[in-house]
């Protein structure tokens, strides 16, 4: 049985165990520096959730409530390798989505594009996991994650949990949401060249598929 809790204190001894899972699960160009995460947890701008089996930390998730919106970015989520395929991630998604629904919030998720990179099987599993949980992809929306270690950026897809069946989204609010993600998480302004390379291609209406 897994038990989830939030770690609000970056000096908590379990912070290091959560970060070890994070470091093992994501490549360097997709990871924020540990000290930046530590500072954001201390400030409360991002929220660190962990899952325990007995007393062992086996799961972690970082979520980022986007200021003055009803969206929460699922920044990172991973299960310790030895505990994968036990439904822990699915259990967390159910728990956190129930919490978000009570607060009239919903997830937006960055997922690696299947058409790029060498780890295609891992990318396929992640996409399938979120779609099984009910997430829908923003069709024809290009999105690029900056290289967080100063190297290559990563082509991504964006997913969201629909507020209602057959929902679509309009382009201007989505553009504003992506500008906000770039500013809050990555410290880049709306004139950033990487942001400009894709944001103007977003259409007026976006299907969720």
Q: Where are the domains of the chain?
A: 2-207
Please identify every stretch of the chain with a pLDDT value under 50, giving residue numbers as ranges.
none
CATH superfamily of 2-207: Gcn5-related N-acetyltransferase (GNAT) (3.40.630.30)
pLDDT computed for residue 116 by the predictor = 84
pLDDT computed for residue 165 by the predictor = 86
Please provide residue 202's backbone torsions phi and psi, each rounded to the nearest 5 degrees: -75, 125
pLDDT computed for residue 115 by the predictor = 85
Q: At a CB cut-off of 8 Å and minimum separation 6, what does 171 contact?
A: 202, 203, 204, 205, 206
* Angle separating helix axes 13-25 and 34-43, nearest 10 degrees: 130
**Prediction pTM value:** 0.91
Please provide residue 165's backbone torsions phi and psi, each rounded to the nearest 5 degrees: -60, 145
CB contact burial 116-135 (16+ within 10 A = b; e otherwise): eeeeeeebeebbeebeebeb
C-alpha count within 13 angstroms, C-beta hemisphere, residue 68: 5
Q: At a CB cut-off of 8 Å and minimum separation 6, what does 101 contact?
A: none
Q: How far apart are CA 95 and CA 93, in angstroms?
A: 5
DSSP H helices in the chain = 13-25, 34-43, 88-102, 120-132, 171-186, 193-199
Q: How far apart are CA 40 and CA 8, in angstroms?
A: 10
pLDDT computed for residue 118 by the predictor = 75
């Amino acid at each position: 049985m897994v038990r989830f809790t939030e770690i609000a204190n970056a000096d908590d001894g379990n912070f290091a165990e959560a970060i070890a899972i994070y470091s093992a699960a994501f490549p360097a160009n997709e990871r924020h520096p540990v000290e930046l995460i530590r500072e954001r947890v201390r400030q409360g701008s991002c929220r660190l959730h962990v899952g325990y089996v007995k007393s062992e930390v086996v799961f972690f998730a970082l979520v980022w409530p986007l200021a003055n919106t009803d969206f929460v970015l699922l920044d990172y989520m991973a299960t310790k390798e030895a505990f994968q395929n036990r439904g822990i991630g699915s259990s967390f998604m159910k728990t956190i989505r129930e919490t978000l629904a009570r607060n009239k919030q919903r997830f937006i998720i960055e997922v690696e594009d299947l058409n790029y990179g060498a780890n295609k099987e891992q990318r396929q599993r992640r996409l399938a996991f979120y779609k099984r949980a009910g997430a829908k992809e923003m069709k024809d929306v290009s999105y690029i994650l900056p290289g967080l270690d100063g190297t290559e950026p990563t082509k991504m897809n964006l997913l969201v949990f629909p507020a209602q069946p057959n929902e679509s989204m309009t382009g201007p609010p989505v553009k504003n949401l992506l500008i906000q993600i770039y500013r809050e998480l990555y410290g880049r302004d709306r004139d950033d060249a990487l942001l400009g390379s894709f944001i103007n291609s977003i259409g007026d209406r976006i299907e969720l598929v």
